[in-house]
Structure 1
Amino acid sequence: MVGSIDLYAGDLNTEKVEPLPEDFDPTAVIKELVPPVVEAENEEKDKKREIVLGRNVHTMCLAVTEPESDDEVTGEREASMASVLARYRKSLIERTKHHLGYPYNLDFDYGALAQLQHFSINNLGDPFIESNYGVHSRQFEVGVLDWFARLWELEKNEYWGYITNCGTEGNLHGILVGREVFPDGILYTSCETHYSVFKAARMYRMECVKVDTLVSGEIDCEDFKLKLLCNKDKPAIINVNIGTTVKGAVDDLDLVIQKLEETGFTHDRFYIHCDGALFGLMMPFVKRAPKVSFKKPIGSVSVSGHKFVGCPMPCGVQITRLEHINALSRNVEYLASRDATIMGSRNGHAPIFLWYTLNRKGYRGFRKEVQKCLRNAHYLKDRLKDAGIGAMLNELSSTVVFERPQDEEFVRRWQLACQGNIAHVVVMPNVTIEKLDVFLNELVQKRATWFQDGKLQPHCIAADVGKENCLCALHK
């Protein structure tokens, strides 16, 4: 160690190193612990913070305040924080009761894993190589990856993957692998694709071609073929949606591959990433669904772990072919491992939660939950139409699309996801018939007040869901 310091100092012999002052005290501390509040200039004080889309969280944030000097004696601090947390827990229970618009499975119980919360579990580096950091959960992570590789028909010695921090990271990684395989490739994806794919195109400075969609939200393969023909000289990197964000539409993977072959793209000139955030785990259990399999010429698949599986923290699974990963891998001496992931530190608790659920439910358990979700989704769609509310449900989906409620407070209460004149409910394993009935009854009662004087009319959603699914005055 001394030798390395001497060598380093020799490299800097042209610089004079200033000695520490004689009165330097390494034990000294700053007397004023709390920094002053930052004040804006006078002319800026009266300006309101701009609020975009959502509400400004500063109006409801919980400030961090300094403990009193005698707090260790009185214990008031702990009591105050306990009160805040109790109120927060109560609000979580209430908000969970009225959660319908986002694809999260809130039906889980991980009480058995509470014993692990005292450990900082970090899966640094490559999941398949143990690093110097010993407090990890790679043994759980690889077990989960093996389960998904089997689901998507890829041999253990032919895949590489890792547990991501969210579905977006899975898309970022899948498209990055495609870009590394084809540095001059063009990214093709439908205009109803999740925003993370367009984010990836911006981050990687990739040329991105948006493909039209059918009314269902599925990629229009005829338009896809036309756009491929315009760029036959460059490789194609394709994002295929196994369930779009708003309408839950599933792109036909087989038809996408067929159009590539028809336009002269051999298998060594295209890379397909399948974004299966929600439905990637549901489709294997639906008979009529196009099969997502590595026996087909695809490059990667990603799913979210906090969606259909159900985890208390965002996470996901990313699987790709082992042959592709060397283009990304870099040895990291600091870790005594290599790395080909997007993030450095990765949540080591997430693989344990996923492993626990996969072991409890297995393939049979997930098949049962898929059947329940599809059945309840059809129930919701039929009830909406019976009430005179325009609605659509894609055949392979549990996402029910309907006309956007007029009252934004109602939208916030039920945490509905909206786009233009439509909203949707994603029927997950925790969404029961009883919960749907409460929602429907409230919606019907609200509509009676919204449209009672005739000044307001229900939205026309024919352009979004097709004339046959719109029940506005024009299309009834």
Structure 2
Amino acid sequence: MSAGPLTLADIRELHQRWLAGAEFDIGYPNAVDFDPSTVLRLFDVTLNNVGHPFAPTTGFSGHTLSLEQQLIRELGAMFRCPPELVTGFVTSGSTEAIKAALLQARRRFRRHVVVYASTAAHTCVAKLTEELCMALQVVPASLDGVMNVASLTELVAQRPEDAAVVVVATIGTTMVEAVDDVPAIHAALDAASVPASQRWVHADAALAGIPLAMLDPAERPGFDFADGADSLNVSGHKYLGVPMPCGAVLLRTDRCPAVDETPTYTGAPDLTPAGSRSGHTPLLILAALRGFGIHGLRERAATCRRNAAALVELFSAADVPAWRHPLGFTVVLPAPSEQLRARWPVPPPELARDDGWTHVICMPGKHFEVYQRFAAEYLIDRGNTTSRHLPVQHGPDRHTSGQHSSAPHHDAEHPEDAIAC
């Protein structure tokens, strides 16, 4: 790319480079089938969402707060929060969303708070609790990545007498897409004698929340407001494919402290961690939700699961101990050589917390043929690396929670080219 101002040729070169690279990005959860073109015409104006979208504002007009409010209500309905109790706002991503939930919990309790999260929780939880000076207790995860609720009970029972409890449940862990069980977490807190008034359960549903919400309630795991979550976050750039990092946090108004009515220069109270927030990201998330529609969101998730199931079968037929959660898009397998990872950027095994493992994620818009190409190269690489250290098997036969499974055969009969909806 030439020095100086960006030219049209520079932009085309960058665009082609990024498009070419995206074909190989199968280790990271970004959908590629969302078309934002209908919203792009609005990018020639500054849209700054300052303050809370549910608070009245008399400030400047360059914002999308009313649309942000609509988005939060639609997400609240998706995650079964009573409509009269839902509040929240759009964030720069799930890290900021989790921070907002932790801040609300701390404001509510106004006392010593201990945060509990599993060893498989996102690394931002440790970063945020340190930043907020909140105590963090790490709970072991089972072999399948799910929080061990028996250990949670033991650890919570040892908390300081005056401490309130905040549990961060991970709804789709980073490496294996495990889903913590929110009703089981509440049962563990009951067993540890934590009063309802002294507990807060947050559901970090960054990747898996929307796909799981598309399932029939009888088929999906317990993770949302109807299952006992007090707050919940999702990402916009993962399953929805919004082309910039963003997310949303949802909160129950009856669990949040009273709103600070002190006006800012915009005429609205600002309860958000960021202050000025993008007014474009609510537009993009709303455009994705309404553009795909419930049917499209459901079909995209079903396609991803079929592709993941077919990929597990492909590897299993070649004696590779690959596995997945039945409802997940993530296929876990022994890590390939460094040379193959340079071509296909899957997570290095040292990030997997279980030595020697990595994953690929079957996301919307990514054709199954791409995963087949990776599998073909992987098998050649595996055959050439005769001295490879094989990781300890922790696939379906070793699961303790029953949530892991090799793919049911009927799921893998119709791999599709990731339907674009």
Shorter-normalised TM range: 0.7 to 0.9
- What is the deviation of 1:430? 1.6
Please give the alpha-carbon distance, in whole angstroms, between the structure 2 residues aligned to 1:341 and 1:464: 41
1:89 corresponds in structure 2 to: 15
Number of residues of Structure 1 aligned to a counterpart in Structure 2: 390
Do structure 1's residue 397 and structure 2's residue 328 form an aligned pair? yes
2:78 corresponds in structure 1 to: 151
Do structure 1's residue 102 and structure 2's residue 31 form an aligned pair? no
- What is the deviation of 1:274? 0.5
Instruction: Give CA deviations for 1:104-152 in whole Å, capped at 9, x if unaligned.
Output: 1111111222211211111111112334121111222111111111112
1:311 corresponds in structure 2 to: 242
Change (3 A) 1:63 1:195: farther
* Unmatched runs of 5 consecutive residues or more in structure 2: 405-421
Indicate which of 442, 462, 473 corresponds to 2:377.
442
Tell me the secondary structure at the aligned position of residue 209 of structure 1: strand
1:198 corresponds in structure 2 to: 126
Do the aligned partners of 1:170 and 1:316 also contact (CA within 8 Å) in 2?
Answer: yes
- What is the deviation of 1:263? 1.9
Tell me the secondary structure at the aligned position of residue 424 of structure 1: strand
1:22 corresponds in structure 2 to: none
Task: Choose 378-387 or 185-194, whichever is displaced more.
Answer: 378-387
Q: Which has the higher contact order (CA 8 A, sep 6+)?
A: 2
Change (3 A) 1:457 1:193: same
Please give the alpha-carbon distance, in whole angstroms, between the structure 1 residues aligned to 2:265 and 2:342: 47
2:117 corresponds in structure 1 to: 189
Do structure 1's residue 216 and structure 2's residue 144 form an aligned pair? yes
Do structure 1's residue 345 and structure 2's residue 273 form an aligned pair? no
Corresponding letter in the other structure for 1:222? A
- What is the deviation of 1:343? 0.3
1:6 corresponds in structure 2 to: none
1:279 corresponds in structure 2 to: 208
Q: Percent identity?
A: 24
Please give the alpha-carbon distance, in whole angstroms, between the structure 2 residues aligned to 1:379 and 1:465: 16
Please give the alpha-carbon distance, in whole angstroms, between the structure 1 residues aligned to 2:309 and 2:97: 30
Corresponding letter in the other structure for 1:442? E
Instruction: Give CA deviations for 1:312-334 in whole Å, capped at 9, x if unaligned.
Output: 11111110011344357462431
1:474 corresponds in structure 2 to: none
Corresponding letter in the other structure for 2:69? V
Do the aligned partners of 1:250 and 1:396 also contact (CA within 8 Å) in 2?
Answer: no
- What is the deviation of 1:178? 1.4
Please give the alpha-carbon distance, in whole angstroms, between the structure 2 residues aligned to 1:173 and 1:124: 15
Q: Kindly report which structure 2 residues correspond to 1:383-462, keeping only aligned pairs within 5 A, or say none.
A: 383-406=314-337, 408-418=338-348, 419=352, 420-451=355-386, 456-462=387-393
Corresponding letter in the other structure for 1:95? G
Tell me the secondary structure at the aligned position of residue 278 of structure 2: coil
Task: Choose 178-187 or 286-295, whichever is displaced more.
Answer: 286-295
Change (3 A) 1:64 1:198: farther
Q: Under a length normalisation based on structure 1, what TM-score does the superposition of the two structures give?
A: 0.78
Runs of 4+ with deviation above 6 angstroms: none
2:303 corresponds in structure 1 to: 372
Do structure 1's residue 302 and structure 2's residue 233 form an aligned pair? yes
Do the aligned partners of 1:283 and 1:291 also contact (CA within 8 Å) in 2?
Answer: no
Please give the alpha-carbon distance, in whole angstroms, between the structure 2 residues aligned to 1:345 and 1:394: 39
Do the aligned partners of 1:422 and 1:464 also contact (CA within 8 Å) in 2?
Answer: no
Change (3 A) 1:328 1:196: farther
CA RMSD of aligned residues (A): 2.1
Indicate which of 343, 354, 365 corresponds to 2:285.
354
Select the structure of larger CA radius of gyration: 1
- What is the deviation of 1:84? 2.5
Tell me the secondary structure at the aligned position of residue 84 of structure 2: helix
1:8 corresponds in structure 2 to: none
Please give the alpha-carbon distance, in whole angstroms, between the structure 2 residues aligned to 1:330 and 1:292: 32
- What is the deviation of 1:86? 2.1
Q: Under a length normalisation based on structure 2, what TM-score does the superposition of the two structures give?
A: 0.87
Task: Choose 300-309 or 442-451, whichever is displaced more.
Answer: 442-451
Tell me the secondary structure at the aligned position of residue 117 of structure 1: helix
1:245 corresponds in structure 2 to: 174
Q: Kindly report which structure 2 residues correspond to 1:114-153, keeping only aligned pairs within 5 A, or say none.
A: 114-128=40-54, 129-153=56-80
- What is the deviation of 1:354? 1.2
Tell me the secondary structure at the aligned position of residue 331 of structure 2: strand
Instruction: Give CA deviations for 1:73-121 in whole Å, capped at 9, x if unaligned.
Output: xxxx66xx33322221111111011110111111111122221121111
Please give the alpha-carbon distance, in whole angstroms, between the structure 2 residues aligned to 1:103 and 1:330: 39
